[in-house]
Amino acid sequence: MKYESKRFKDGQVTAKIIEGGNIHIKIRGNSYEDLFKAAAIKEAWDAENATNKTAVAKLTIFCLIGQRSDRRFNKGESFDLKVICKFINDMKFDSVAILHPHSPISLALIDNSEKISHVDYVEKAFKHIGNPVLVSPDAGAYKTTHEIAEKLNADLVPSNKVRVDGAPVISIQGDVNGKQCLIVDDLADGGRTFKFLAEALKQQGAAEVYLYVTHAQFNYGFDELKETIDHVYCTNSYKDIDDDFVTQFKLAGL
Ligand SMILES: O=P(O)(O)OC[C@H]1O[C@H](OP(=O)(O)OP(=O)(O)O)[C@H](O)[C@@H]1O
């Protein structure tokens, strides 16, 4: 299955099917344009395959836009993930695979969806560092990090984050004194969650603190993080990063 897609100068995205058969579209999915690109390809494919009932269409989304907006935060505000998932469902793919979604709500809202686990990337970081203790930063990350700790036979220290007047307050539930710690979470946006957690871990005696996130946004750069975090591991699901502070695992198809 081959296709082309392009963007006109006015922003319109368009697609052309070059060769028929099964299709597997892989997108970052971290922009509305990416979703429209998939929709244009799928529309062209549907038209080409109208009589081919056995051909299968798969979509892989590496970094789903809006995945944190998995609820209506306040009365009167839009439930953005619902809008995004409705758009994806309207494309009618036979299967939609999503890398490390922020919460199960994405999978619940998207038809025929399945999760791609981040375990392989955490394992690479875990082995590279040399069997650190895993640290889950909040209740949301605990369940998946617990599953990964079981698979890697790693120790897990849960921590919890509550926001007081907007600032995160951290509690660490375990002994990290003298240990190498690897914080594992789905995404870094501004990075303050990890800056404060790394500070707390080092105050409690952690020898080194590393961070793994699947979706590396780091919208405010790395300067503040470098003060307390020794190294970052991530995928390139959101963007490519060129910085000695970061080891990026490249995803096939990006
Ligand atoms: O880099 P930062 O800006 O600190 O943000 C990163 C944190 O934000 C996300 O959680 P979020 O607070 O959205 O989780 P919630 O579903 O519990 O609200 C994510 O899972 C990280 O824990």
Per-residue pLDDT of the chain (254 residues; tens, 9 = 90+): 789 999 999 999 999 999 889 999 999 999 999 999 999 999 999 999 888 779 999 999 999 999 999 999 999 999 999 999 999 999 999 999 999 999 999 999 999 999 999 999 999 999 999 999 999 999 889 999 999 999 999 999 999 988 888 777 899 999 999 999 999 999 999 998 899 999 999 999 999 999 999 999 999 999 999 999 999 999 999 999 999 999 999 999 88
Which atom of ligand 1 is nearest the CA belonging to 102?
Answer: 20
Q: Is the dihedral of CA 168, 29, 239, 33 positive or negative?
A: negative
Residue in 145, 164, 184, 193 to alter for ligand 1 test, most ligand atoms within 8 A of Cβ? 193
Residue-level pLDDT at 249 = 98
pTM value? 0.95
- ipTM for the assembly: 0.95
Residue-level pLDDT at 161 = 86
- Which among 138, 174, 169, 177 is positioned nearest to 157, based on CA atoms? 174
Residue-level pLDDT at 15 = 97
Residue-level pLDDT at 187 = 97
Residue in 100, 138, 159 to alter for ligand 1 test, most ligand atoms within 8 A of Cβ? 138
Cβ–ligand 1 distance for 230 under 6 Å, the answer no
Residue 79 and residue 56: Cα distance in Å, rounded?
A: 31
For ligand 1, the distance from its centroid to the CA atom of residue 43, given in whole angstroms, is 34
For ligand 1, the distance from its centroid to the CA atom of residue 145, given in whole angstroms, is 15
Contact indicator for 51, 19 with CB cutoff of 8 Å:
no
Residue 139 and residue 46: Cα distance in Å, rounded?
A: 42
With 0-12 CB in 10 A as exposed, 13-18 as middle and 19+ as buried, what is 141? buried
> Containing H/E element for 108?
helix 104-109
Nearest CA to ligand 1 atom 17: 140
